[in-house]
Amino acid sequence: MDIALILASKITELTLIVLLGYGLVKSKLLQPKDTFPLSAVGVYIISPAVMLKAFQIDYSPELLRGLLLSVSMAILLHIILIIMGIILKKIFKLDGVEHASAIYSNSGNLIIPLVMSMFGDEWIIYATCFIVVQTVLFWTHCRGLICGEKSLSLSKIIKNINIWAIIIGATLFAFQIKLPSIIVGTLSSVGSFIGPNAMLIAGMLIAGIPLRSILSSKRIYLVTFLRLIFVPLCLMVVIKLGHFASFAEHGETIALISFLATISPAAATVTQIAVLHGKDAQKSSAIYGVTTMLCVITMPLIITLYQLA
């Protein structure tokens, strides 16, 4: 099946989960404020489980070359994203939530299930390279944008469980230390909730916002355009001109996975951080919801352009 069609099918499945969250609130079974415990579960349990599980793989020279390409692309693309964010903020007067939503993608919640569907489980590790780099930036640069902190607190970074999950996971991989199968199975089971949990949170938050305020907000559509169309097209040009696919075996697939991670909707973690720190969670969830709904159309189209370029 064509990659664009697989994308559209899988994204539609995840979007339906947003509607389930929306229905839970509209039916009075839950309230938007009930997203706080779900956000805490996502940030402090599910995300670390995904990071630890990703590093439980066997070493090979081919894998190492692929990982080096994937990590290099992740670092370069994020540097470009941060620079683009500074420029876009000045041009469009973006606030913290808009700024973070425009440049940070929902790579963790969407890309892993998409990669599994399109390429198979063995390719997930290349997706996690982007996620690892992004996770570090989520709890440093992105958190600073949302909370209005101009300086980073080293103590907050050190105490962050997601950073520790990356450090521990990388150490286990470096020394090829394998966790007991029951632990790996538990991490895998918990990590599988990463997409559904984020989508439920989005749907529940969207249900608490008057639909008219979403449809009439020009700022939401501006950020949606930047996140789903402008930023992906700019990064597509960078990837194609950089000829990254030639730097490793299966480089074309690895480059495609890295690109997929940049064209997804606004990051769910932006909404989770906003909820946990009492920042504009409604605007964040509205942007997240609109970009999630529209990515069913934009992601397959962008990938089609990428393949034709």
Non-local CB neighbours of 18 within 8 Å, separated by 6+ positions: 199, 200, 202, 203, 206, 289, 292, 293
Least confidently predicted of 98-107, 214-223, 269-278? 269-278
State the pLDDT at residue 199.
Answer: 82
Examine the pLDDT at 105 and tell me if it is beyond 90.
yes
- How far is the C-alpha of 14 from the C-alpha of 113, rounded, in Å? 9
State the pLDDT at residue 238.
Answer: 95
In this structure, what CATH number is given to the domain that contains residue 241?
A: 1.20.1530
State the pLDDT at residue 153.
Answer: 58
State the pLDDT at residue 117.
Answer: 73
Burial 107-129 (b: 16+ CB within 10 A, else e): bbbbbbbbbbebbeeebbbbbbb
State residue 64 phi and psi, 5-degree precision: -60, -45
pLDDT tens-digit profile of 275-305? 777 787 778 878 887 888 788 889 999 999 9
State the pLDDT at residue 180.
Answer: 96
State the pLDDT at residue 194.
Answer: 83
Q: What percent of the chain has pLDDT over 70?
A: 96
Identify the band that residue 182 occupies on the pLDDT scale cut at 50, 70 and 90.
very high
Domain that holds residue 138: 3-308
Q: What is the mean pLDDT of residues 83-111?
A: 92
Pick 129 or 260 by higher pLDDT: 260
Lookup: tokens for 215: 């449809």
Helix (H, G, I), strand (E, B) or coil at 124: helix
Q: Which of 100, 139, 151, 117 is nearest to 265 (CA)?
A: 100
State the pLDDT at residue 235.
Answer: 96
Q: What is the pTM of this model?
A: 0.83
Examine the pLDDT at 154 and tell me if it is beyond 70.
no
Identify the band that residue 151 occupies on the pLDDT scale cut at 50, 70 and 90.
low
Identify the band that residue 135 occupies on the pLDDT scale cut at 50, 70 and 90.
confident
State the pLDDT at residue 98.
Answer: 94
Do residues 199 and 17 touch, judged by C-beta distance below 8 A?
yes
- Give the total number of structural domains in the chain: 1
State the pLDDT at residue 179.
Answer: 95
